[in-house]
């Protein structure tokens, strides 16, 4: 995520990764070079194997039943249907969104079937309302109702920016007990993502128009060490740390609007003056969607994965290129890291701010300017490969993007270099040299600072 902005933040970690891979040896088939056949390459192709699980993560039967596993299986590759009971799933989000005719506001309802798998009795629940953050999002979202069994729950805001709310339970929730949380919420999308530190993730772009509704619903906070995590939303980087859950979502849009969302489309029909879309997410960490009456779609089936590209017509000249990079990346990363388990992957070109690409489960956003620029080197392939890599590094692995960013940003950048090594050796070599030079510069400055500090402290 935020590929270009984060270069300097990941240089040291990536430099160490590249250095270690240059000396690594393997008995597996060597990684071939497309531009210099037979030449030595620093990467070799490993066999993707699953690490043994020490303890089974038992899912909530109630959550699994509430989100209809038959529908969830449609979101998965036929040969990648998981053992649902071993995923540690504690929540099913059954949601309905109604987008206003002008696309600038929406209302939503949710029935979240939640089982307490924390091993301790819970006196409260905490939800995140990320669009309220003035940075990254810059929108407005309200939790209008929260109830259990029809009884309203008292709400307490935990952060000044309104991105976390505590719900006091009338009755403590014991371990392995289940409740159904009934929510009503609403949101307002600012036009063209105003604000110096916003990314265009929660906005109505006037071009199109295109409604971008990322994290547009109340999302359970993560519980660790006997406490709910309530991390502040910072002006740069990722905001969300979340557990895997199941999603069934109805999107009710103005007539003629089209939608791209996490998961697969189960059904589409018209009702009065609305277009109704029903989605199943499969086991994912969050649900993201965008909608527009001006979207144009290009779809391809690569093996068993449906690739869908959504954009406005101005970017058409590079749609085929972007789709090819996605297909090549899925093949390459699938061989290195394990197969992509979902039935679909969507790519959306739109007017992002302060970011060249942003990742979500089964869906990636790419800045439209990368499609039309004539600058060299051309960055579209690297950014697309980077965002595809995030389908493993965060989405599947579930890394903590706030406390261990090397497990998602550095590895996604490293993975994009694998793509370039396979498909553009010159770009790869230039980028590696740049990284190594920058690491040397940083190390020299750090060494000088350390030496001077030692001298003056003596």
CA dihedral 145, 148, 154, 158 (to 10 degrees): -80
Note the helical H segments in 315-408.
319-337, 369-372, 380-389
Cα gap 334→429, rounded to integer Å:
23
DSSP secondary structure string, 119-149? Answer: SS-EEEEEEE-GGG-TTBT--EEEEEEEEET
**First and final C-alpha spacing in the chain:** 44
Beta-sheet strands, E only, within 274-343:
274-280, 288-292, 296-302, 305-311
Three-class secondary structure of residue 176 per DSSP: coil
Count the neighbouring beta carbons within 10 Å of the beta carbon of residue 201: 26
Q: Quick check: 398 and 244 in contact, CB under 8 A?
A: yes
Residue 451, H or E segment: helix 425-457
Q: Quick check: 99 and 254 in contact, CB under 8 A?
A: yes
Cα gap 67→80, rounded to integer Å:
18
The pTM for the full model equals: 0.86
**Ordered per-residue pLDDT tens for the chain, 458 residues:** 544 444 434 333 443 333 323 222 222 222 223 333 333 344 444 444 444 443 446 999 999 999 999 999 999 999 999 999 999 999 999 999 999 999 999 999 999 999 999 999 999 999 999 999 999 999 999 999 999 999 999 999 999 999 999 999 999 999 999 999 999 999 999 999 999 999 999 999 999 999 999 999 999 999 999 999 999 999 988 999 999 999 999 999 999 999 999 999 999 999 999 999 999 999 999 999 999 999 999 999 998 999 999 999 999 999 999 999 999 999 999 999 999 999 999 999 999 999 999 999 999 999 999 999 888 788 999 999 999 999 999 999 988 999 998 899 999 999 999 999 999 998 999 988 988 998 998 888 866 655 555 555 54
Cα gap 105→213, rounded to integer Å:
10
Identify the structural domains of the chain with CATH numbers, from first to last. 14-45+423-457 (no CATH), 59-291 (2.60.40.1730)
């Amino acid at each position: 995520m935020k590929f270009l902005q984060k270069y300097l933040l990941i240089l040291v970690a990536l430099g160490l990764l590249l250095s270690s891979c240059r000396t690594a040896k393997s008995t597996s088939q060597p990684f071939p070079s497309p531009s210099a056949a037979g030449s030595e390459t620093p990467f070799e192709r490993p066999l993707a194997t699953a690490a043994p699980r020490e303890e089974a993560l038992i899912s909530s039967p109630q959550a699994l039943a509430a989100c209809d596993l038959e529908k969830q299986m449609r979101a998965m590759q036929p040969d990648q249907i998981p053992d649902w009971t071993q995923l540690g799933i504690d929540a099913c989000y059954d949601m309905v969104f109604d987008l206003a005719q002008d696309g600038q506001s929406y209302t939503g309802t949710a029935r979240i079937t939640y089982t307490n798998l924390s091993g301790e009795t819970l006196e409260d629940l905490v939800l995140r309302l990320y669009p309220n953050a003035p940075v990254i999002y810059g929108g407005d979202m309200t939790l209008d109702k929260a109830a259990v069994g029809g009884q309203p729950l008292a709400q307490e805001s935990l952060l000044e920016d309104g991105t976390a709310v505590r719900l006091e339970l009338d009755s403590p929730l014991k371990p392995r007990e289940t409740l159904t949380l009934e929510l009503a919420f609403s949101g307002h999308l600012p036009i063209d993502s105003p604000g110096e530190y916003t990314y265009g993730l929660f906005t109505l772009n006037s071009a199109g128009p295109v409604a971008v509704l990322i994290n547009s619903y109340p999302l359970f906070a993560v519980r660790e060490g006997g406490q709910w995590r309530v991390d502040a939303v910072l002006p740069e980087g990722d905001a969300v740390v979340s557990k895997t859950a199941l999603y069934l979502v109805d999107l009710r849009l103005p007539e003629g609007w089209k939608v791209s969302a996490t998961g697969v489309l189960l059904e589409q029909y018209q009702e009065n003056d609305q277009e109704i879309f029903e989605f199943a997410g499969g086991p994912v960490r969050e649900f993201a969607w965008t909608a527009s009456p001006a979207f144009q779609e290009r779809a391809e089936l690569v093996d068993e994965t449906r690739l869908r590209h959504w954009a406005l017509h101005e970017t058409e000249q590079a749609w085929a290129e972007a789709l090819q990079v996605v297909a090549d990346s899925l093949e390459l990363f699938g061989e290195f890291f394990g197969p992509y388990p979902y039935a679909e992957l969507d790519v959306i070109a739109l007017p992002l701010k302060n970011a060249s690409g942003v990742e979500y489960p089964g869906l990636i956003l790419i800045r439209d300017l990368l499609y039309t620029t004539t600058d060299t080197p051309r960055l579209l392939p690297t950014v697309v490969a980077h965002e595809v890599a995030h389908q493993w590094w965060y989405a599947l692995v579930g890394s903590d993007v706030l406390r261990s960013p090397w497990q998602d940003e550095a590895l996604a950048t490293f993975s994009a270099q694998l793509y370039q090594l396979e498909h553009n050796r010159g770009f790869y070599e230039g980028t590696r040299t740049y990284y190594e030079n920058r690491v040397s510069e940083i190390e020299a400055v750090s060494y000088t600072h350390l030496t001077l500090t030692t001298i003056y402290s003596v």
